[in-house]
């Protein structure tokens, strides 16, 4: 009887530990949807889990390109934590294989669309966003707006 109780207790402990352990994200679509949710809600905690520490974000500014790294991306999100973006979104996969995915995400605002091309790489435990390229476009146009 004592060994049965110990066995049941150990089984229960294993179940609790497995539930508490963070599951790796093996589906890149879940990472993309999480990235979208993190952006829309300015949720830096979610983004910290989905982007690589080596992530690079690029966006055009007139004839130059602004480059932000992980700490700058997360730092800005912390400043605006949980600010809800008023937009709709859609995404599509542009290219994919077993280790690399490129996706296009359109965040559609009233006056413009923020088009992001993100690169995801399969890591040892899960997919992570390793690159972000942003383009601001006026509504109903494919012309890129430049930040001034």
- pTM higher than the cut 0.85: no
pLDDT in tens, 23-71: 556 799 999 999 999 999 999 999 999 999 999 999 999 899 999 999 9
Give the mean model confidence (pLDDT) for residues 123-146.
84
Give the mean model confidence (pLDDT) for residues 96-105.
97
DSSP-derived secondary structure for 1-62: -HHHHHHHHHHHHHHHHHHHSPPP---HHHHHHHHHHHHHTT-HHHHHHHEEEEEEEEEEET
Distance CA 75, CA 69 (A): 10
Work out the percent of the chain whose per-residue pLDDT is above 70: 77
Q: Is pLDDT larger for residue 47 or for residue 17?
A: 47
pLDDT in tens, 110-134: 999 999 999 999 998 899 999 999 9
């Amino acid at each position: 009887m004592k060994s049965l109780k110990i066995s049941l207790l150990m089984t229960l402990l294993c179940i609790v530990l497995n539930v508490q352990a963070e599951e790796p994200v093996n589906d890149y679509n879940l990472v993309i949807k999480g990235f979208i949710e993190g952006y829309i809600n300015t949720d830096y905690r979610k983004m910290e889990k989905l982007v690589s520490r080596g992530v690079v974000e690029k966006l055009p500014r007139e004839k130059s390109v602004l480059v932000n790294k992980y700490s700058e991306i997360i730092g800005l999100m912390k400043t605006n934590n949980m600010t809800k973006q008023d937009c709709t979104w859609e995404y599509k996969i542009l290219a994919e294989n077993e280790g690399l995915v490129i996706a296009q995400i359109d965040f559609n605002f009233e006056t413009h669309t923020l088009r992001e091309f993100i690169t995801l790489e399969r890591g040892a435990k899960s997919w992570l966003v390793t690159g972000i390229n942003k383009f601001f476009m006026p509504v109903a146009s494919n012309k890129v707006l430049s930040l001034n």
